[in-house]
Amino acid sequence: MCFMAFLRIFSLMLSVVAILACGGNAQLSPDFYASTCPNLQRIVSDAMREAIDQELRVAASVLRLFFHDCFVNGCDGSLLLDDTATFTGEKSAFPNRNSVRGFEVIDRIKSRVECECNGTVSCADILALAARDGVALHESCTQMGGPTWAVPLGRRDARTASDCAANAQLPSPTATLPTLISMFAAKGLSSRDMVALSGAHTIGFAQCSNFRARIYNETNINPIFAANRRGACPPSGGDTNLAAMDLQTPNRFDNNYYTNLLTRGGLLYSDQELFNNGRLDWLVKVYSSRAASFRRDFAAAMVKMGNINPLVGTDGEIRKNCRLVN
């Protein structure tokens, strides 16, 4: 009898260990703030609608913020932190410097959330919701079909950030396909996730310095497309000049990004690597012809990316100001 009781206790202990080993992802839930901040999603959605009405590009900017935050040590709001005397943050990293934007939008949302639910909602969760709403609200603002998804919530905010980590972990616009596959796999994301998430470039913009070499030096590019892009990107100078990654429908969240790749119209080297006589050509073809498949896989991949190493429980903090540690 005592031995059976011991077995039951031992089995219970193993179950607890197994739950803890699963990490914080299991603790995230779309209903996390249902009782503590019931109007959260409306507040974020309303603020994002106002921001997009003022500047349509905000949707792409906030979406990129979320991607760059999650890819550096997890979705913990660390990208939002300003540099301090004790650390140089991710904003100063080479992939982000003078490039990432949309911080003021997150600040405004955080301020409104704090007025409603003081010290309750993390900046990391606000960023996750704002990224989703930017895509979904793009639909109503441009009369097209942006996907939506339920956002698991319950993340907490990091107390530090690292420019070195951002430099090492963010994919380069000149990355090869094997490198991209490896970097996404390191975050628990499959090749399918990677191709689906790359579809966010359908509303994205790139700076001239990131695609100059491609439009002037590469051969795996549509010559008409390259000539068109050279108009806004001279051989020297104009490094920060912007070009839409989807020339056909830059303000619509659709699957034309993939259609462009089929005709060698990827703006970045890393874009065209997805369709370059490689192992993922078939998936680019699928997404180019089946918008519903892209929408479904993009939404699923966004949820999966949002689960990268979140801080939960008592880890981290709930920042009062997204730019500063409490």
Q: Pick the catalytic residue from 57, 64, 68, 156.
A: 68
Sequence length of the chain is: 326
Ligand-binding annotation for 314, yes or no, is: no
According to the annotation, is 125 in a ligand binding site? no
90 marked ligand binding residue: yes
Say how far residue 180 (Cα) sits from the centre of its chain. 15
107 appears as a binding residue in the annotation: no
315 is in an annotated binding site: no
Residue 109, classed as helix, strand or coil, is helix
- 138 catalytic residue (yes or no): no
Instruction: Classify 161 in phi/psi space as left (phi over 0), alpha (psi -120 to 50) or beta.
Output: beta
Annotated binding residue at 193? Answer: no
Question: Any binding-site annotation on 249?
Answer: yes
- Was 246 annotated as part of a binding site? yes
CA distance 103 to 68: 13
Non-local (6+) Cβ contacts of 57 within 8 A are 205
HEC profile of 205-220: EEEHHHHHHHHHHCCC
Q: How many CA atoms lie within 13 A of 57 on its CB side?
A: 10
Q: Is 69 annotated as a binding residue?
A: yes
Catalytic residues: 68
Please report, in range form, the residues annotated as the binding site for substrate: 171
Residue numbering of the annotated binding site: 69, 72, 74, 76, 78, 90, 171, 201-202, 246, 249, 254
Please enumerate, by residue number, every residue annotated as part of a binding site for Ca(2+).
Answer: 69, 72, 74, 76, 78, 90, 202, 246, 249, 254
Which segments are annotated as binding site for heme b?
Answer: 201
